[in-house]
Structure formats: structure tokens, C-alpha cells
């Protein structure tokens, strides 16, 4: 029997559309569709993937295709929200060695009438070749003391309207353990959360750019402790890092995102994220700092 064709990836199509701006060697331009937005702006994880795509094209142009094929670490600082529309990514090499290179990428909203460019996001990316990495390896127990939950017997599809409330979250299937209180992902207690995700269109999670985006798609610890959270609060990421450990297999459809938070306090909290494949291997690790802001009633100064 012939194998099923692998669906094309809308994410890879979108981020790979970033192209060299005419007359430059370090600036890349693209237009971001509203389909990659959350409540109020472009998803930080999408901007992360876009930064990696721009840096990879810059490396190919300056250093030759294939010399440093994989991002192994990225730090992203979010300065301003990015609405859908045209952006420019400006790249600069900070360091190039025989094993690695480091690229700074600044993403700016394009200038409008009477206004200059607004620098919105800055990324520092380290590139290498994961397939040739070798050296000290130590295996330790997971911070989560239990195996991954069985997707068929221990989980159910998240049917909360919030997963369909934004364009980018509605792209995914969300499957998670559900507690007796009706809240999601509480199988291991506290601020530990677990969610299986896949793309509804059937496209595969086939590369590190997918992991860059999905690292920003956990069950948010603060939100899963309170019913109706998103009707009262908005979340925005201050900064995030991602370390890439392993390329996902080309036919990967589901990954497990495990997350935990140490302290949610005074409108700010941390998230530690692990992305696993179905065999339990860690594909990527991420850390975030997130702000929570109360939504205001329209036309009123009082908070709700």
C-alpha cells in the first residue's frame, strides 16, 4: 500500500516566504498574516520561527548553504506587540567559529506615513549542526515523576471555547488530562501541565521551526487554575529562550508539551517548557517570563 503523502506545512511556507530586501545583504522582508495571531498580536512563537528563518537565510548567503544547518539555542526579547502586516528582519553575525555561529536578528514593523520603523523583537540565535554534536552525555530522571499520559486512555480533547478563540490556537488539536474540577492538565498537580498537540490540517511537526513556534503554546499555568480566565486577563511574553535538543522525525504528528511554573506573583510568572516526541525523548526546552494584565471593559476605566 502506498504511504500517505505528507501534508505541506503552512508554518514552513509562511516563515520561508521571508525574502532578501532588494539592495541589501542583511535585511529580509515578509508580510505576516492574521492567521498567526493570538488575542491581540502575532504569536511570539511565530516571531521566534520567523527569526530563525531569517537567520538561516542570512547564514546561507554569507557563509554558504548547509554550513550551520540547525539552531541550537535562541533568546528572544519582545519589545513591542507586532500586529499582522509587513515586517523587516535585520541580521548581523556576532561570532563565527568552526563549530558555531551566532546571529542577532532585529524584527521591526515597517515604516508608515510620518513614522519610522518600530523595533519590536530582538533575537540572538546560535547555529551549529546537531547531527555532528558529540561529547559528555548524562541521563537523569525527569522533573516530572510520571510517564507521559496515554493520549487515548488518559486524555480527552480540550473542548473549551478558548482553543478556538484565536486564529493561531485554532490551528491545533489540543488533548490533555482533565481534572474532576473541569480544569485541564492537572494530572501531576500544582503548576505542572501536560498537553498533546498536533496540527488540525494534518501537516507534520517535521522541523525545528515547528518546535520554535510550539514552545510558545503550552497550557498556561495561571489560566488553567481559573475558569473563564481569558475573559478577564490577557497574557504577553516578556522574553523566552529555546534550546533545541533533537530534530523531530519527518513524520512526527503529535508532540507532548509539558510545562511548569515556580511562582505566579503580582502579574508576572515563569514557565519552563519541555517538548517531547511520542517516545518520550526531549526535542526542545524553553523558559519564558510572562506578564498577566487585567482586561478593561470597553469605554470604562474600571477593571473587570
**Full pLDDT tens readout for the chain, 304 residues:** 333 344 479 999 999 999 999 999 999 999 999 999 997 899 999 999 999 999 999 999 999 998 999 999 999 999 999 999 999 999 999 999 999 999 999 999 987 655 667 899 999 999 999 999 999 988 877 777 789 999 999 999 998 888 898 999 999 999 999 887 777 888 888 888 999 999 999 999 999 999 999 999 999 888 888 878 888 888 899 999 999 999 999 999 999 999 999 999 999 999 999 999 999 999 999 999 999 988 875 444 322 2
Q: Supply the pLDDT for residue 72.
A: 98
Domains and CATH numbers, the chain: 9-129 (3.10.129.10), 149-304 (3.10.129.10)
Q: Supply the pLDDT for residue 5.
A: 41
The HSE-up count of residue 147 (CA atoms within 13 Å, CB side) is 7
Gap between the Cα atoms of 5 and 27, Å rounded: 35
Cβ burial 105-121 (10 Å sphere, 16+ → b, else e): bbbbbeeeeeeeebebb
Query: What separation in angstroms does the CA of 197 have from each of 17, 160, 252?
Result: 25, 15, 11
Query: What separation in angstroms does the CA of 13 have from each of 8, 23, 41, 203, 274?
Result: 8, 24, 20, 11, 25
Cβ pair 42, 105 in contact under 8 A: no
Collapsing DSSP to helix, strand or coil, 230 comes out as: helix
Q: Supply the pLDDT for residue 297.
A: 55
Gap between the Cα atoms of 274 and 285, Å rounded: 5
Collapsing DSSP to helix, strand or coil, 32 comes out as: strand
Cβ pair 43, 213 in contact under 8 A: yes
Burial of 259 (0-12, 13-18, 19+ CB in 10 A): buried
Q: Supply the pLDDT for residue 208.
A: 97
| Contacts of 280 by beta carbon, 8 Å cutoff, 6+ apart | 147, 148
| pTM (predicted TM-score) | 0.92
Tell me how long the chain is: 304
| Contacts of 139 by beta carbon, 8 Å cutoff, 6+ apart | none
Cβ pair 201, 171 in contact under 8 A: yes
Which candidate, 200, 152, 146, places its Cα nearest to that of 11? Answer: 200
Amino acid at each position: 500500500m502506498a504511504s500517505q503523502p505528507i501534508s505541506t506545512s503552512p508554518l514552513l511556507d509562511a516563515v520561508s516566504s521571508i525574502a532578501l530586501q532588494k539592495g541589501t545583504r542583511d535585511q529580509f522582508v515578509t508580510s505576516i498574516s492574521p492567521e498567526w495571531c493570538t488575542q491581540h498580536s502575532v504569536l511570539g512563537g511565530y516571531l521566534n520561527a520567523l527569526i530563525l528563518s531569517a537567520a538561516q537565510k542570512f547564514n546561507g548567503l554569507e557563509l554558504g548553504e548547509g554550513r550551520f544547518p540547525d539552531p541550537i539555542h535562541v533568546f528572544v526579547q519582545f519589545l513591542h506587540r507586532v500586529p499582522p502586516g509587513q515586517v523587516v528582519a535585520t541580521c548581523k553575525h556576532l561570532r563565527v567559529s568552526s563549530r558555531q555561529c551566532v546571529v542577532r536578528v532585529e524584527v521591526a514593523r515597517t515604516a508608515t506615513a510620518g513614522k519610522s520603523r518600530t523595533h519590536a523583537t530582538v533575537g540572538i540565535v546560535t547555529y551549529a549542526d546537531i547531527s555532528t554534536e558529540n561529547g559528555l552525555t548524562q541521563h537523569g530522571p525527569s522533573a516530572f515523576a510520571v510517564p507521559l499520559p496515554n493520549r487515548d486512555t488518559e486524555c480527552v480533547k480540550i473542548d473549551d471555547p478558548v482553543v478556538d478563540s484565536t486564529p493561531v490556537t485554532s490551528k491545533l488539536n489540543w488533548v490533555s488530562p482533565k481534572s474532576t474540577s473541569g480544569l485541564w492538565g492537572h494530572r501531576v498537580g500544582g503548576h505542572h501541565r501536560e498537553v498533546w498537540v498536533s496540527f488540525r490540517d494534518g501537516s507534520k511537526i517535521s522541523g525545528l521551526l515547528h518546535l520554535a513556534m510550539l514552545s510558545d503554546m503550552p497550557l498556561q499555568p495561571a489560566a488553567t487554575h481559573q475558569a473563564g480566565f481569558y475573559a478577564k486577563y490577557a497574557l504577553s511574553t516578556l522574553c523566552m529562550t529555546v534550546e533545541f535538543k533533537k530534530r523531530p522525525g519527518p513524520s512526527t504528528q503529535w508532540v507532548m508539551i509539558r510545562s511548569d511554573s515556580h511562582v505566579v506573583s503580582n502579574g508576572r510568572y515563569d514557565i519552563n517548557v519541555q517538548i517531547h516526541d511520542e517516545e518520550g525523548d526531549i526535542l526542545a526546552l524553553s523558559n519564558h517570563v510572562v506578564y498577566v494584565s487585567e482586561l478593561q471593559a470597553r469605554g470604562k476605566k474600571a477593571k473587570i
